Structure 1
Amino acid sequence: MSAASGPVVVLVGPPGAGKTTVGTVIARRLGVALRDTDADIEAAEGRPIPEIFVEDGEPRFRELERRAVRAALTEHDGVVSLGGGAVLDPGTRALLTGLPVVFLDVALADAIRRVGLDTPRPLLAVNPRKQWRTLMEQRRPLYTEVARAVVGTEGRDPEEVAQAVLDALELKDA
């Protein structure tokens, strides 16, 4: 597969959906690399995302995110995991058109358990349950808009979610 063909799988969803964990499993099973745009931003900036939010503000972070997403979607031919808020940008949604995007849909209880209430998530810092619900009300239509398939994660381990993604996209293990 050439880099020009784009990613084989793009995972979107809220914090705690398991995008990186499931993406790692899918990448291993397909024999390709995983590219996580949040990790790309942290590597490029030399600091964690919560620090970028606090020191530079959300608009600066979103600009960094737009650049990281564009680079990942145009340069990477493996699995791409997008940050939870990447779909807020209309340009990003346009870039996702026609790509094999899967929305990992997660229940609130699972997301809170996975994210952890003590984990530094800047948008979930105050009243995480309420904030998460608000984020999902805002983002669910956008996740659904860009997704070719929706895979529920509730009651499934990462291997089962990965298999559901592969099945939804009709992809076979390497």
Structure 2
Amino acid sequence: MPKINGNEIRPGNVLEHDGGLWSAVKVDHVKPGKGGAFAQVELKNLRDGRKLNERFRSADKVERVRLEQKDQQFLFETDGMLTFMDTETFEQVELSADLLGDRRPFLQDGMTVKIEYYDEEALNVSVPQKVTCQIVETEPVVKGQTAANSFKPAILDNGVKVMVPPFVGQDEMIIVNTETMEYAERA
């Protein structure tokens, strides 16, 4: 595995550190007035979700891990386990719904997701960045309510609450950004 310097760590990098696999969530490069520069890195354990703040000097070497990404299709869910099918080999794999975290409601039947593997172990599931959902419940459109940044709450067909612009009504299809959990545009 390639070793990188502590100042080359970027958000999203997967590192082997303290005997575990960690994903760099946030990286701040700090140059104090006295002493050498360092990277203050917030790490998240890919296996158990623990968080860790670590300081890496530019002379420190860390192992960067390359994860294999595979496109897989979501089939169904049973007892908290999600079943996916490899689109090339048609092999099925069962993963815990906890891997998706708060993005779980956006997973739809037949959706193609990216699953990241380390050897044969699935570590991460990512849904597409933009997903189309239907608004089930929202306040009616009020004429004349055109204030600049006014948003109203809406409940989607998957149970997620998002803020939408006043012109969007009930039963409309909208596109939601799954990273920010916000309204993106009308579908």
TM-score (norm 2): 0.27
Structure in which a larger fraction of residues adopt strand = 2
Structure in which a larger fraction of residues adopt helix = 1
Name which one, 1 or 2, has greater alpha-carbon Rg.
2
Q: Compare relative contact order (CA 8 Å, sep 6+) and give the higher one, 1 or 2.
A: 1
